[in-house]
Every structure is written in C-alpha cells, then in structure tokens.
Structure 1
C-alpha cells in the first residue's frame, strides 16, 4: 500500500504539490482562526443555580431552598448528576451535563425546571442562573486606581459605570465586582422606643416599603394639550426616610425618626480585597463566555477600557493586576521560535552531511506543512491553542525532524547506491 502511494506520488508530482499547497493554505487559515488560550478548559459542562436568602442559617437554606431545588432539577435529559451546597444565606446548585451537551440548550432546560420549582421556595428566595462561563473563564482582573476617593465611591463607579460598559464587549459573560462598600440606607431601630409606641418591626418595614413607590395616574386633555398625571414617591435622601409616617396616635403621626436612626452606610462584608499589602482596592473580574477566543476577548476588553477611561472621574484610572494574554503570547512565541530553530538546525545538518540542497529543502517544506495540518485538526475537534496543545506541537516538531532526516538520508543513500551500480554496469 505504501509502495503504491509512493509510486503514485512520483508519477503525479504536480497533483501532490497542489494538494500540499492547498493543505498549507488551509492550515494558515486555521492558524488565524484558531481560538487561543493559555490553559486548556478541563472543567465539567455545568450550569450553576444561585439562590440568595440572606439572614438564614445553612440548615434552613438546606431544608427550604437547596433540597427542593435539587430534587426538582434531577431527571433532566443528558444530566450526569446534581450537586447542592448550602451556606449562610446562600445556596448553590451545580447541574453537571454530558460533555457533548450544548451549554445553552442545557441552560434553557434548567430554566424550564426553575419555573416549576419557584413555587416550592419561600418568599424572597429567587433562584438565578450563574454566568455562562467556565472554571477557567477569569481572563482579566483589574482595580481602580483612585487616589483620594473613598471605597464606597469607587464601588459605585465600578457598579454603575465601568461594569455596564465592559459587559457589552463581545465574548464577556460577566463583570464580577469586588472590594469596597456597596452603599445602602440603613435604619437602626431603637427597641425601647419601638415598645413605647407599641409598634413592631414588620410595621416599620411595611411603611418604608409602601412609601418607596411610584404610582401612575391617567392622561387628560386641557386646551388641546395632553397631560399625564403620576406621583413621584421614590426615596432619595435620608431626610425623606426619616419623615415617613408609620402610624397615627392621638392625631399625632409617628415617623421613622421617632423610633430609629437613619444613616448612609455600606453593606455587611464577609471579607476585603487587599492589593499588594498597600490597602483595600476596588475592581472587577472579566469572566469569558463559554467557547470564546480568550486572546480576542482580552484585546477587545482593553480597547473598551481605553474608551471607558475617558469618562472616569478625574484622577481615576485602570490598573490591570492579572492578564492572561501575556501567558498566551509566550506560548505562541515559544512554538514559533521552536519551529524556526529546528527548521534551520535540521536543514543545516542535512546540508553539511549530504551537501545536497534539495534534501535540506524537503525538511524546510515538511515542517511548516505538518504543523499547518495539525492546526486543521485542532479546529476540526474544537481544541483551543493552549499550553498543552502547543507544547504537543512543539514536541512533535522534533519527531518530524528526526523522521525527515532518516527518510531523506535513506532515500539519498539508495539513490547514490543505484547510481553507483549503473556506473559499474556502464563500465
């Protein structure tokens, strides 16, 4: 079989050259379109369901949130197993699907089940899907370098300006904010005053909730002009919260300021983010969407950061603390350097030992052609160009060189022996 293939190739050299040129061109196209990342994605094909019910113990979360969700999410098609984790105020459900399952089909099926499971959960516990990213999707970390700005203001800039802008970058699944303080209005109730006015905490909560609302009226026309009537009731300051009436006792309204203290503060934190031991910092994590090109997403995020930086407050700028593109570029450059070095060394050795430039040319052509075909196969099987796959290509270059040298030297020796035999017969 091999002999027939060699014989066919020798008789049809132009066809072989055209096929080789076509494969090389296809390989170059595969190199430019190959998805590049630093590390391979070995994580499981999973969908995460996150439920927050603050203030409840892990046992209550397990009994009233995690257990109902786990039992209802089991039995879906292409599901391998379902895991549940309960902690203080939070529940995580991990639905592991078969490796070949489309991730967005899986998320759609989970949403269908959640529509039914919602009725089994207590009021205030609303399950949501996690981002459509993988375990290696954290491709970029950044902080805000804002001298003279407190942590609450930095977190507000991150949550209400930077986060929304960067989430629009193609390939970005989520911008996860960290650090700082999330500002909130806090009402601290005095229990003695609450008892004095014969009130309860639910009454105070109901009064605040009812007064933080906006209701619409109707449209009427006057003098050929249409007017829309509505009431503006959203709370916008501490004074407005303090003035909210709770009940009326003896024609005198009891307001929030009579039984509580209202202040602007930060949400309770379970930890802090410290940068290089220099103090707390505020920033975000760029989570890449499933199946995207990490190098391209990072490049687009950096370009978007340059646009976003123009709208930041004076003195505020981005500080990138983790960037995977450096490792990606080093991996790609390593393969390029290895290829060029081995092509030059192998060609030089063949030329020095055989003094035959055509034999050296065969090796120079064979190496890039083999690597180009390798990238065709990587794209065909959906494998990214990462450290492991590129290292495999770099190692295989040595095998290809050895094989080329042995085959070329063997062919050269047989041709030389045949030529010597002809000369002997001619004499």
Structure 2
C-alpha cells in the first residue's frame, strides 16, 4: 500500500502539489474561523436557575423555593445531574445536561418547565435563567477611574449607561456590575409615631408601592377637541415620597413624613471591589456567550468602549482590570515562535549533515502544511485554539521534524547508494 502511494505521488506530482495547496488554504481558513481562547472550556454543559427572595433564611429558601424547583426540573430529558444550593435570600439550581446537548435547546426546555413550576413557588417569587455563558466566560474586566464622582454616582453611571451599551456587542452574554452603591430611597419609620397614628408597616408599604405609578384615564371631547386624561404618579425625588398619603386620622391625611423620614442611601452590599489596594472602584465583568471567539469579542468590546468613552462625564475614564486577550496573544506568539525556531533548526541540521538545500526545503514545506491540517481537525471537532491545543501542536511539531529528518536522510542515502550502483555498472 505504501509503495503504491509513493509510486502514485511520484507519477502525479501536480496532483500532490494541488492537494497540498488545498489543504494549506483550508488550514488558513480554519485558523481564521476557529475560536481562539487562552483557557480550554472544560465546564459542564449546564443551565443555572437563580431565584431571589430577600430576607428569608436558607432553610425557608430550601423548603419553599429550591426543593419545588429541583423536584419539577428532574423530568427534563437528557439531564445528567441536578445540583442546588440555598443561601440567605437566594437559591441556585444547576441543571447539568449531557455533553452533546445543544445549550440553547437545554435552556428552552428548562424555561418551559419553569413556567409550570412557577405556580408552586411563593407569591412574587420568580426564578430566572442565568446568562448563556460558561465557567470560563469572564473574558474582560474593567472599572471606572474618576476623582470627582462618589461610588453611588459611579454605580448609577455603570448600571444605566455603560452596561447597556456594552451588552449590545455581538458575543456578549452579560455585563455584570460590581462595586459602589446601588442608589435607593430608604424609609426610616418611627414606631412611636406609627403607634400614635395607628399605622402599620403593611399600610406604609402598600401606600408607597401603589403611589409610585402612572394611571390612565379616558378620552373626552370638548369644543371640537379631544383630551386624554391620565394621572402622573411616578416618584421623582424624596419630597414625592414624603408627601404620599397613607390613611386618614381624624379626617386628617397621614403622610409618610408624619411617621418617618426619607433619605437617599445605598442598597445592602455583600462585598466590595478594591483596585490594587488603592480604594474601592466601580466596574463590570464582560461574560462571553457560549461558543464565541474570545479574541474577537474582547476586540469588539474595546471598540465599543471607545464609543462609550465619548459620552462619559469629564474626568471619567475606563481602566482595564483583566484582559484575557494578552494571554491569548502570548499563546499564539508562542506557537509561531516554536514553528519558526523548528524550521531554522531543521534547515541548519540538514544543511550541515547533508549539504543539500532541496532536502531542507522538503521539511520546511511540510511543517506549515502539517500545522494547517491540525487546525482543520480542530475546527472539524469543535475544539477551540487554546493553551492546551496549541501546546499539543507545538509538541507535535517536534515529532514532525524528527520524522522528516529521518525520512529525508533515508531517502537521500537510498538515492546515493542507487546512484553509486549505476555509476559502478554503466
């Protein structure tokens, strides 16, 4: 078989060259299309269900939220395992599917089952799906640098401007904000005043909730004109909250300001984000979508940040906290450097021992073609170009070089011996 293949190749050199050029071109195309990342994605094929019910203990969360969800999600097909954890005010359910299952098919099946499980949960408790990313999807971190804005203003700028802009970048599943304070209206009630006016906590909560709303009326015509009546009730500042009427006390309306005080404060925090020990900062984590090219996503995020920078207040700039593209670039440069070093070393070895430049050229041609075929296989099997796969290619280059040197030297020796026989027997 090998002899026939060698004979065919020698008799059809043009076909061999065309096939080699086609494989090399296909390999270049595969390099451009294959996702590039620094870290191989070895995480489970999972869908995360997150449920928030603040103020409840882990045991209550386990009994009333986690257990009903897990028991109803078990009937989804192609599930490998379900894991769950309950903590103060939050529940996490991890549905792990078989590796060959499409992640978006899995998310659809989970969402269908959640519609049924919703009726088993307490009122106003709604489970949500986590982002369609993986455990290694955190590809880019950034924070805002400013000397004038406080942490609350920075967090508002991040949540209501920067985050929405970066989420429009193709390949980005989520931009998670961190640091700072989330602004909120805080109502501090006085128990003595509530007792004096006979006002309960439930009445205060209901009044504040129902008063922060716009209501629609009807249209009526007068003097050949149409008028639309509607009530504007959205809260805009602290005074609007203070003026909300709770109930009547001896025919006198009791307002929020009569039973407590209203202030602007920050939401409860579970941690802080410190930058190099220089103080707290506000920023975001860019989570890449499943199966995307990390290098292209990071480049697109950086381009979008240049556009967003134009709309930031004076003195506010972006600072990079973590950029995986640096590690990706070093990994790619490593494989390029290894390939060039091997080609130079092989050329020197062949020229020193054989003094035959055509033999060295044979090995120099086979190295890039072999690497190109490797990327074709990576693309075919859906494996990204990461540190592990690129390291495997770099190690394989040494094997290819060794085989090439042995085969070229053997061919050169066989041809020399045959030539000597022909010269001795003219």
Alignment-derived partner of residue 215 in structure 2: 215
Deviation at 1:222, TM superposition (A): 4.0
Deviation at 1:285, TM superposition (A): 0.2
> Counterparts of 1:23-42 in structure 2 under 5 Å?
23-42=23-42
Deviation at 1:224, TM superposition (A): 4.6
Q: Is 1:420 matched up with 2:420? A: yes
Deviation at 1:177, TM superposition (A): 0.1
Q: Deviations over 1:110-129 (max 9, x none)?
A: 00000000000001211000
Q: For residues 207 and 179 of structure 1, what CA distance do their matches in structure 2 show?
A: 32
Alignment-derived partner of residue 299 in structure 1: 299
Corresponding residue SS for 2:286: strand
Q: For residues 223 and 286 of structure 1, what CA distance do their matches in structure 2 show?
A: 57
Q: For residues 250 and 15 of structure 2, what CA distance do their matches in structure 1 show?
A: 103
Alignment-derived partner of residue 2 in structure 1: 2
Deviation at 1:223, TM superposition (A): 4.7
Deviation at 1:32, TM superposition (A): 1.5
Alignment-derived partner of residue 272 in structure 1: 272
Q: For residues 405 and 205 of structure 1, what CA distance do their matches in structure 2 show?
A: 82
Deviation at 1:228, TM superposition (A): 2.2
Alignment-derived partner of residue 288 in structure 1: 288
Alignment-derived partner of residue 254 in structure 2: 254
Corresponding residue SS for 1:135: coil
Q: Deviations over 1:23-62 (max 9, x none)?
A: 1111111112121000100000000000000000000000
Q: For residues 23 and 415 of structure 1, what CA distance do their matches in structure 2 show?
A: 29
Deviation at 1:251, TM superposition (A): 1.1
> Counterparts of 1:139-150 in structure 2 under 5 Å?
139-150=139-150
Q: For residues 18 and 274 of structure 1, what CA distance do their matches in structure 2 show?
A: 58
Deviation at 1:87, TM superposition (A): 0.1
Alignment-derived partner of residue 182 in structure 1: 182
TM-score (norm 1): 0.98
Alignment-derived partner of residue 328 in structure 1: 328
Q: For residues 35 and 223 of structure 1, what CA distance do their matches in structure 2 show?
A: 67
Q: For residues 381 and 148 of structure 1, what CA distance do their matches in structure 2 show?
A: 52
Alignment-derived partner of residue 84 in structure 1: 84
Q: For residues 412 and 299 of structure 1, what CA distance do their matches in structure 2 show?
A: 49
Q: For residues 363 and 86 of structure 1, what CA distance do their matches in structure 2 show?
A: 60
Alignment-derived partner of residue 109 in structure 2: 109
Corresponding residue SS for 2:140: strand
> Counterparts of 1:235-246 in structure 2 under 5 Å?
235-246=235-246
Q: For residues 46 and 268 of structure 1, what CA distance do their matches in structure 2 show?
A: 30
Deviation at 1:189, TM superposition (A): 1.0
Q: For residues 169 and 224 of structure 1, what CA distance do their matches in structure 2 show?
A: 50
Deviation at 1:219, TM superposition (A): 2.5
Alignment-derived partner of residue 201 in structure 1: 201
Deviation at 1:253, TM superposition (A): 1.1
Alignment-derived partner of residue 385 in structure 2: 385
TM-score (norm 2): 0.99
Q: For residues 358 and 160 of structure 1, what CA distance do their matches in structure 2 show?
A: 65
Q: Deviations over 1:321-342 (max 9, x none)?
A: 1000000000001111111111
Q: Which runs of 5+ in 1 are unaligned?
A: none
Q: Which runs of 5+ in 2 are unaligned?
A: none
Q: Is 1:70 matched up with 2:80? A: no
Corresponding residue SS for 2:42: coil
Deviation at 1:12, TM superposition (A): 1.1
Q: For residues 425 and 222 of structure 1, what CA distance do their matches in structure 2 show?
A: 122
Q: For residues 196 and 146 of structure 2, what CA distance do their matches in structure 1 show?
A: 47
Q: Is 1:398 matched up with 2:398? A: yes
Alignment-derived partner of residue 228 in structure 2: 228
> Counterparts of 1:357-368 in structure 2 under 5 Å?
357-368=357-368
Q: Which deviates further from its counterpart, 216-225 or 381-390?
A: 216-225
Deviation at 1:220, TM superposition (A): 3.1
Q: Is 1:50 matched up with 2:50? A: yes
Deviation at 1:279, TM superposition (A): 0.6
Q: Deviations over 1:194-214 (max 9, x none)?
A: 122222110111111111111
Alignment-derived partner of residue 339 in structure 1: 339
Corresponding residue SS for 1:126: coil
Corresponding residue SS for 2:96: strand
Q: For residues 198 and 223 of structure 2, what CA distance do their matches in structure 1 show?
A: 52
Q: For residues 226 and 173 of structure 2, what CA distance do their matches in structure 1 show?
A: 44
The Cα RMSD (Å) is 0.9
Q: For residues 370 and 408 of structure 2, what CA distance do their matches in structure 1 show?
A: 16
Deviation at 1:230, TM superposition (A): 1.1
Alignment-derived partner of residue 130 in structure 1: 130
Aligned residues: 426
Q: For residues 226 and 358 of structure 1, what CA distance do their matches in structure 2 show?
A: 92
